[in-house]
Structure 1
Amino acid sequence: MNTNEQTTLPPGMPQLRVMPMPADANVHGDVFGGWIMSQVDIAGSLPAVRRANGRVATIAVNSFVFKQPVFVGDLLSFYSTVVKVGRTSITVNVEVYAERNRLQADVVKVTEATLTYVATGEDRKPRLLPALPQD
C-alpha cells in the first residue's frame, strides 16, 4: 500500500458521494471495510439499474481491492462504469476516491472493485436486458 499516492478526482460526476461517520468506524477512526463494500454495491447498482431499466440483484463481487484506509471525515466519491453487458447481466467497475484535508485538497484512490448484477423481474427471477434504443 503506497500511502503517498496522490491523485485528482476523475472527470465527470460521481455516482455517489458520502462522508463516513463515527458509527461507520472502529474506535481508532478507521472505517469498516464492510461499510465501504455496501457503499460500493450501491454505487455499482446505479448504472446497472439504468441499463436494465429496472430491478437488479448483485450476483458476484468479481474483485475488490482496498488500496488505502478510509477515515471518518473523508469525503468519498464513487465512480462507476459499465464494462460488460450480457443477456441478463451487467458488470460494473467502481473506483472510490477520498478527499482528505479538504483545505489542502488531498485526493487518494482508496478502493476499486468489479461487481456483476443480473436484471430481475417482479418475480425476482432473471430477465433479458432491454435492447438499447437505436440512434
Structure 2
Amino acid sequence: MTRTLVMPSDVNPYGDVYGGWLMSQMDLAGSIKASNIARGRVTTVAVDTMAFLRPVPLGSTVCCYAEIEEVGRSSVRVLVDVWLRPPESQERVKLTESTFVYVAIDDNGRTRSIVKEPT
C-alpha cells in the first residue's frame, strides 16, 4: 500500500489531480509489490483500462492498494485499487482500479524467470 498527499504541483489549474500523476502512483504501488514477488527488478509492460470515478482535489489523501492476481514464468499481474480521502472529510471513496502487468528483467534489461517459492 502506498499513501500520498495531493500537492499543488500534482493538480491542474482548476485544482484537480492530473490523471497521469495518479497513474504513476498506481504504477509505483504495483511495481513495489511485483518486485517483491520477482525478487528484483521489474518493468511495466501493460496497463488495463481505468475509469476515474470522480475528480481528486488538492489536499486529498490518495491510497493505492496492490494485490497479486497472477505470477507467470517471468510476469506478474497486479490489481491496484485506489481510494481517496478528500481534505474536508474522513470518508474514504473508491476512485479507480486497474491491472498492471510487470516483467522481471535482469541487469541488462532482458526478461528473466521468476523463481517461485516452494509450495
- TM-score, reference length from structure 2: 0.94
- Report how many aligned residue pairs link the two structures: 119
Distance across 1 between alignment mates of 2:49 and 2:65: 16
Question: Which of 14, 30, 55 is residue 16 of structure 2 equivalent to?
Answer: 30
1:111 aligns to what?
A: 96
- SS in structure 1 of the partner of residue 92 of structure 2: strand
Matches within 5 A, 1:1-135: 15-101=1-87, 104-134=89-119
CA offsets, 1:80-115, max 9 Å, x none? 00101110000000011111245x412111121111
Contact 2:56–2:86 (Cα < 8 Å) also in 1: no
- TM-score, reference length from structure 1: 0.84
Q: Percent identity?
A: 40
Instruction: Compute the displacement of 1:71 (Å).
Output: 1.0
- Structure 1 unmatched ranges of 5 or more: 1-14
- SS in structure 2 of the partner of residue 41 of structure 1: helix
Instruction: Compute the displacement of 1:124 (Å).
Output: 0.7
